[in-house]
Amino acid sequence: MAKPNVMMIITNDSKQHEAAFIRDVLANAGCNVIHLDCSIRQYIPSAEITPMDVAQAAGHTILEVRDLKHEGKCQAVMIEGAIKLALKTHDEQGLSGVIAVGGSMGTSLAGFVMQALPYGLPKLIVSTMASGFTAPYLGTKDIAIMNSVTDISGLNSIARDVYRNAANGIAGMAHGYDPQKSAEKPLVLMTMLSTTEKTCRPIREALEADGCEVMVFHSSGAGGPTLDSIAADKDVALVLDLSLTEIMDFQNGGLAGTSPVRGRAALEKGIPTIFAPGNADFIIAGPFEEAMKQFPGTTYHKHNPALTAVRTQMPQLEKLADHLASMFATASGPVSFYVPLKGFSNHDSEFGHLHEPEMPPPFAEYVTQVMPANVDLYIKDAHFNDPAFADAILAKAREYLKA
């Protein structure tokens, strides 16, 4: 069998010895190494893709990049070139894995390159940033990040173990990489949390039995943006956005908040979309004492020592409705909104900790007033997790899929 191609993204001008060490481990593990070197300060020969190649791919010479004399501007050029060359290499030679080593700058560059590569392709970054805030580096792609422990400055007993483990890890993934062809099934994307699983699970199982491929995303901060990314990039037949936690949290300062464009990708692309206010009964906050200070005067549920569910009130629900209405008005395809009158999640039920049965009816009334004419609005005398509510959404999903 041919050796799997593994791309190594490491700057030789500052990490030459680390690059050589990792190359040897990968070679000994039976991989063909393609070194992408985005060095700016100095050219040290050894890489298959040189800094000059990277700069040229972005329409510059390496001297022009150096003359920018601004690390951010220099890196922007090298990121552009590196993405183009990584994609070109993958198209022409076929990559089975990508590994990178870097500090904040190297991690940022490698992150952008890996985010441009397809889902499923093994991706691993060894980084000094791994123990901190990693979202900007990973985006919505399946990128693994490993703590370098020591700074990436020379080889020592810990660094050698870390680099060896990382290189052997990506080598193992590369040998096992078997890219899956797109399924010839209609692709359905769905959001949920465990608090709405009683409705979302039977919908998923029924659609799978109908012959669909269903991808479910945990709407706790990363899941929704990932759904949006896939909706924008892939041939998606239907979106079921049934958990609105990330939108509610964005509007109110909760931990799962994402961005103002959350949920818009499918609407703007014209993908049939069904929305429901799953989990709109709470905002995700931090530890209990902090949650009480941030959101005073409401009801709280201590989910665990790190997370507290904070009960939403009518002003927040009306704000959500207004936001959804403005989103739905931009839809270029069919969109439906299902509103249950007896609660929005397990927490908002007779068995839950945040149940306020007087809240959903006025929310439904307000929704009726603000929704644009292009929305198919359904008010259901049921709880979100009732079988009748799941059946109603499933029927509409099948209607959209059939059309």
How far apart (Å, rounded) are the C-alpha atoms in residues 229 and 126? 25
- Which CATH code of 3.20.20.140, 3.40.50.12020, 3.40.50.10420, 3.40.50.800 fits the domain covering 5-176? 3.40.50.12020
List residues bridging with 216 in a β-sheet. Answer: 190
- Residue 278's closest CA among 205, 202, 349, 343? 343
- pTM of the predicted structure, to 2 decimals: 0.80
pLDDT tens digits for range 141-154: 899 999 999 999 88
- The superfamily CATH assigns to domain 187-402 is Uncharacterised protein family UPF0261, NC domain (3.40.50.12030)
Task: Check residue 278 and report its DSSP letter.
Answer: T
On the question of pLDDT at 62 being above 70, the answer is yes
pLDDT tens digits for range 321-354: 999 999 999 999 999 999 999 999 999 999 999 9
Q: Are the folds of 5-176 and 187-402 the same?
A: yes
On the question of pLDDT at 187 being above 80, the answer is yes
Confidence band for 138, pLDDT divided at 50, 70 and 90: confident
Listed by start position, the domains of the chain span 5-176, 187-402
How far apart (Å, rounded) are the C-alpha atoms in residues 30 and 244? 46
How confident is the model at residue 101, as a pLDDT?
96
Q: State the chain's mean pLDDT as an integer.
A: 95
β strands within 87-231, DSSP E: 97-102, 123-127, 144-147, 187-192, 213-218
pLDDT tens digits for range 150-167: 999 889 999 999 999 999
How far apart (Å, rounded) are the C-alpha atoms in residues 118 and 68? 32
How confident is the model at residue 136, as a pLDDT?
78
Write phi, then psi, for 80 (nearest 5 degrees).
Answer: -60, -50
Element (DSSP H or E) covering residue 365: helix 360-370
> Would you give the distance in Å from CA 318 to the centre of its chain?
27
On the question of pLDDT at 182 being above 70, the answer is no
How confident is the model at residue 1, as a pLDDT?
66
